[in-house]
Amino acid sequence: MSIKNMTKEKNWSGQKLVSTDYLLFEAPREKHFMTGSEVLKEAIKRCTVDASVSYPITPQSEAAHLIGELWAEGYVGLYFRGENEFGVMSEVQGCAMAGARTVTTTSGPGTLRAMENFPTWSGTRIPCQLILMARGINSPLTIQPDNLEVSFLLETGCMIWYAENVQELFDMSIAAFTVAEKPDVHVPIITAVDGFFVSHTREAVMLPADDIALEPYDPYAAPLPPIDSEMPPGRFLRDPFVMKSNYISYATHASWQWEVRSAVERSKPYARHYLNGLVHTTGEENAELVFVACGTAVHQAKEGQRELAKLGIKSKVVKLRTIRPFPHAELLEATKNAKYIFVPEFNVVGWLDKEVRTSLYGKSDAKIVGRPRVAGGMSMPAEAILKEVFENTNLKGA
C-alpha cells in the first residue's frame, strides 16, 4: 500500500472515490449493530485518511486502537503512537500542516494534558479532526458519560459538533472532514460524543458499503500554503510577531484571532447541508416547554418529552448539533414560543446552560432552567427531568 497507488478513481486501498453527498445521502446502506468505537472505525475506513496518531491510555475507548487496525488493514496511510497526549496533538498538527488528512481520538484527561495544542491547531488553520469521547475530568477517574471537558474546548477556535448516538457519530465524522477542509473554513473540528453511552455500547446503525471512500484532501486548496518554516505559522517558532512590542503586531494578532473565529462562522452553510440543519427538533412544534440539549442528554430529554405527552403536557426537544459555531438563529427560532426552557446536561458546571442563556439574552422572555445536571457517570432518568419540570413551572399533568 502506498499513496503512489492512488488514482483518480480509487484510493490507495482500492476503494472507489465518491463525493461526500453520495457517501452520506445516496449510497445504499445496510443495518449493523455496533459500539461507537466500532462505528468510528467504519467511518474512518471510508475517509481516505492519510495519518492518525494516538496515545492509548487505560481506561479508554477502543477507538484509537481500532484506527490502528485500519492502518494494519491498509486503509489509513500512517499510524503511530505519541509519547503522551501533548505529543499526540503536536504530531497531529505536524501531519496536518504537511498536508495530510489527520484524525485522532481522546477524552477528558488527555484533552487537558494536550490543551495548549488546540488553539495552536486553529491558529495554524489545519483541518484535522479530533473525535472526543467525553468522559469527564480527573479526579476521581471516570470513563462514564460526563462532558465537562467540552467546556474547556469552547474557546479554542476549533469547530465543535456533538453527536447524539452512533449513527450521528458515523455521519458527522465523515461530514466533519469535508466541512473542515473547505478553503474558507479550514479549521480543526472536534466531533464529540458522550463516552461509554455512545463509545462502549451497541446500537443499530445504517452503514454504506466499505468499498467507497471520500475524495482525498487537497492541501493546495487551503488558506495557507503547506508548511514552510520561513513564513507564519511555521515562523511562529522563530519569530513570533506577538513578541514585537508595537501596535501593528498586536493588531495582526487580533486580526488573526478574528479570522479563526470568522472561519468557524463560515462553516455554517456547509454544516447546514451535511448535517441537515444545525439543530433538530422533536415533539410539539408550538410547545411552551422546550428542552435544549446536546449529546445523549437529547435522548433522555426525548424520553421526558414522551412521558410528558402521556400526561397531556406538550413539549419539544431542540438538539444542538453544532456548539461551535453556535446556532444562534436556529435556537432563537426553535424557542420563539417557549415560556420555559430546560437545559439538561451531563456535567456539573452547566456549560450548555450558559451558552443558551448567552445566546437568548435580551431575545427571549422564557424562564431558563439549567437542570437536571448529572455527572460522573450518573444516568439521567426521565423521572428526574419531569421532577424539574413540575418544580419549576406551573404546568400540571392531565
Partner 1 sequence: MANLGPAHYSPYPVAFYDDLLTPPEGKALLLTEIVDEEVAMREIARVMLTSENATIFPGPQVLYAWNEEAKKKATLIKEMSEVLNAKMIPMYDYRPKYPKIDAEVEINPNHPNLTIWHNEIKACIFVGVHCHYANVALKMIRSETDCYTAAICGLSGHEDAMATIRDQHTKEMARFIEIAKEVKKELGK
Interface ranges with partner 1 (CB under 8 A): 125, 182-184, 186, 221-225, 230-232, 235, 239, 241, 244, 248-249, 251-252, 254-256, 258-259, 261-263, 265-266, 268-269
* CA 111 – CA 103 distance, rounded (Å): 14
Residue type, 144: Q
Nearer to partner 1, 206 or 221 (CB): 221
Name the 3-class secondary structure at 295.
Answer: coil
User: What's the closest the beta carbon of residue 265 comes to partner 1, in angstroms?
Assistant: 4
User: For residue 24, which phi and psi values (nearest 5 degrees)?
Assistant: -85, -35
Residue 114 · residue 89 · CB < 8 Å? yes
User: What's the closest the beta carbon of residue 184 comes to partner 1, in angstroms?
Assistant: 4
Nearer to partner 1, 6 or 224 (CB): 224
Nearer to partner 1, 206 or 231 (CB): 231
Strands of 336-376 (E only): list them: 340-342, 367-369
Residue 118 · residue 188 · CB < 8 Å? yes
User: For residue 344, which phi and psi values (nearest 5 degrees)?
Assistant: -75, 140
User: What's the closest the beta carbon of residue 55 comes to partner 1, in angstroms?
Assistant: 29
Nearer to partner 1, 67 or 263 (CB): 263
Nearer to partner 1, 14 or 225 (CB): 225
User: For residue 38, which phi and psi values (nearest 5 degrees)?
Assistant: -65, -40
Q: 11: Cβ–Cβ under 8 A, 6 or more apart, which residues? A: 17, 48, 213, 216
Nearer to partner 1, 59 or 269 (CB): 269
Beta strand pairing status for 289-293 and 202-208? Answer: unpaired
User: What's the closest the beta carbon of residue 176 comes to partner 1, in angstroms?
Assistant: 18
User: What's the closest the beta carbon of residue 328 comes to partner 1, in angstroms?
Assistant: 9
* CA 322 – CA 318 distance, rounded (Å): 12
User: What's the closest the beta carbon of residue 254 comes to partner 1, in angstroms?
Assistant: 5
* CA 334 – CA 255 distance, rounded (Å): 33
Q: Which helix (H) or strand (E) element contains residue 309? A: helix 296-310
Residue 231 · residue 95 · CB < 8 Å? no
User: What's the closest the beta carbon of residue 221 comes to partner 1, in angstroms?
Assistant: 6
Nearer to partner 1, 177 or 326 (CB): 326
Residue with cell 424539574: 388
Beta strand pairing status for 279-283 and 315-320? Answer: antiparallel
